[in-house]
Amino acid sequence: MMICDCDYDAKQDEEVEENQATTWEGYVNWRNKPALRGRHGGMLAASFVLVVEILESLSFVANASNLVLYMIKFMHMSPSKSANNVTNFIGTAFLLALLGGFCSDAFFTTYHTFLISSVFELLGLILLTVQARVGSLRPAACEAGSPCHEVNGGKAAMLFAGLYLVALGIGGIKGSLPPHGAEQFDESTPSGRKQRSTFFNYFVFCLSFGGLLACTFVVWLADNKGWEWGFGIPTISIFLSIPVFLAGSSTYRNKIPSGSPLATFFKVLVAATFNGCFGRNSGSAVVSTTSSRRNENKESEALTNTLKFLNRAVESNPKYSSMECTVEQVEDVKIVLKALPIFFCTIMLNCCLAQLNTFSVEQAATMNTRLGSLKVPPASLSVFPVVFIMILAPIYDLVIAPFARKLTKTEMGITHLQRIGFGLVLSIFSMAVAAVVEVKRKRVAINSGLVDDGTKPLPISFIWIALQYLFLGSADLFTFAGLLEFFFTETSIRMRSLATSLSFASLAVGYYLSSAIVSIVNSVTGDISHRPWLSGANLNHYHLDRFYWLLCVLSVFNFLHYLFWAFRYKYRGIGTTKQ
């Protein structure tokens, strides 16, 4: 009888091993059945994600790049209020990426989170398109000799309801689409990890390509054919992204949600605090784990020596069963806490990036925007960093990265933190360039006698503004792509979607910080000199150059802060060691 039992157990083990060899452990297909090796995942599946990103980026950037002018011209808001409303909208959209990432890890797959979020964005865009099309839903046009009336009441409610439905949809998509594409690759092999790195580079490329279409074709339509087209094209784009995404359903492998990462995070912190206060000894704890099987990324079962106070959360016989924590849960929380300083250091760069959608557009609107016989919409200035990113992304993947791998003899070549740091340096130069260009623009306004006349274009080409776009666009490529891959590779598979969405949350906090700095600067300078830096009858009365110098100085201190943490960070991901 014992021999039969042993034979039966051996046969079961063989079946399990055979099943693991043919299926992706921890992943399912769109029908919620085990995902199969050779059929699900890979570059083909990720290519659908890249196409969808083009359509999604077109929809988002088309609104973000020109929205400040729409609010000024058609909703009759002041430049400062329009700038703050736009940064708050964009900030909220990116901050809601945390919600999208959380839902992908805890309740839904990234597949379902994307589909639900795209419907929210579509509904919001339909509202905005209808309002732009129907004149009675907007404030009355300004008449000569009479003051303009800012949007209010039900019309304002419709505007902001549409905007924040769009923000909710964008947040869900940003929190689910990048990890959905990245999880299509087998990270247990060097080729799979290199393909994943390539995916992140081309994800930024596709994001930029969508932005290029938005900053040229869609912005031109909005300025010349009406804002019903400016909102209508993004509506069509996000609508088309849904069937394109669904077309790849049979090729996707979808990570099975593993419960709330936030619940795990807080449980470990509470358990460590409780056990520390009551003198529990984790050193003699018998380690237990709730999951006996692993995905292809094998993780250590031993407690590490970093952030030792969290080790107290692991107890063999906890006083309360609800506070029982496994080693893997404790290590997951440690990884997030160690990565958070890197996250905080990227916020200042995104604060600088916020200026491209607000004050930089307003600067360009005061300048000569003609290229020969062609009149370029000010919002199309974003084309400069976008084109540069599209050129640089494949060069980085095909030339720079392979050369760096050979030079350093590491699988990564250039580390994630090195890419992020280089982007932070570029952001410092971008703000210095922006300040110098603004000094030149105002000097032209003074010499031309147009300081008090904000209606006539200044005799200076808007190409000067393109310089700050170029530097900040390059900074965005290095930092954003590096940050996406950093969070995805360094954090546990159980909280990757949430961690990856921190890249977008950094953008959100950066935009909010921009609004806060504008308000603080106006308040402080108004109290000191009775003339706020960022206030006046038109942009020529602003002290925008001083504001840019302030951002430059803050960026320098931020970079020094980044170096402090970057030099102390130790990678845990595969591929960072010598080959």
Helix 79-95, helix 502-529: angle, nearest 10: 150
Task: Provide the 10 A C-beta neighbour count for residue 436.
Answer: 16
Contacts of 298 (CB under 8 A, 6+ apart): 188
Which candidate, 56, 28, 102, 55, places its Cα nearest to that of 252?
Answer: 28
Domain extent listing, the chain:
43-257+346-566, 261-287+303-332
User: What tokens were used for 559?
Assistant: 């970079």
How far apart are the C-alpha atoms of 412 and 485, rounded to whole Å?
11
User: What tokens were used for 60?
Assistant: 């988002």
Q: Could you tell me where the DSSP H helices lie in 248-280?
A: 261-277
User: What tokens were used for 113?
Assistant: 């989170």
What sign has the CA pseudo-torsion 295, 301, 306, 307?
A: positive
CB 313 within 8 A of CB 272: yes
**pLDDT for 380-409, tens place per residue?**
677 777 888 888 888 888 888 888 888 887
User: From first to last of its 579 residues, what are the pLDDT tens digits of the chain?
Assistant: 444 555 544 455 454 444 555 888 888 888 888 888 888 888 999 999 999 999 999 988 887 777 877 888 778 777 777 877 887 888 788 889 989 888 888 888 899 999 999 999 999 999 988 888 877 777 777 776 667 777 778 888 888 899 999 999 999 999 999 999 999 998 888 888 888 888 988 998 998 899 888 878 887 787 777 777 888 889 999 999 999 999 999 999 988 888 778 788 888 888 888 777 765 554 444 444 444 344 444 444 577 777 788 888 787 666 777 777 888 888 888 888 888 999 999 999 988 887 776 788 788 888 887 877 777 777 667 777 788 888 888 888 888 888 888 888 777 778 889 889 999 999 999 999 989 988 888 888 888 888 777 678 788 888 888 888 888 878 888 888 888 888 888 888 888 888 888 888 888 888 788 888 888 888 888 888 778 887 777 778 888 888 899 999 999 999 999 999 999 888 775 555 444
Q: Do the strands 458-461 and 367-368 form a parallel or antiparallel pair, or are they unpaired?
A: parallel
Contacts of 368 (CB under 8 A, 6+ apart): 457, 458, 459, 460, 461, 462
How far apart are the C-alpha atoms of 493 and 329, rounded to whole Å?
11
**pLDDT for 450-503, tens place per residue?**
877 767 878 888 888 888 888 887 888 888 888 888 888 888 888 888 888 888
How far apart are the C-alpha atoms of 449 and 431, rounded to whole Å?
27
| Residue at 476: amino acid letter | D
Q: Output the pTM of the full model.
A: 0.78
Task: Provide the 10 A C-beta neighbour count for residue 6.
Answer: 10
| CATH number for region 43-257+346-566 | 1.20.1250.20
DSSP structure class, residue 569:
-
User: Which SS3 state, helix, strand or coil, does residue 502 take?
Assistant: helix
Which candidate, 471, 487, 481, places its Cα nearest to that of 401?
Answer: 481
Which candidate, 276, 93, 250, places its Cα nearest to that of 170?
Answer: 93
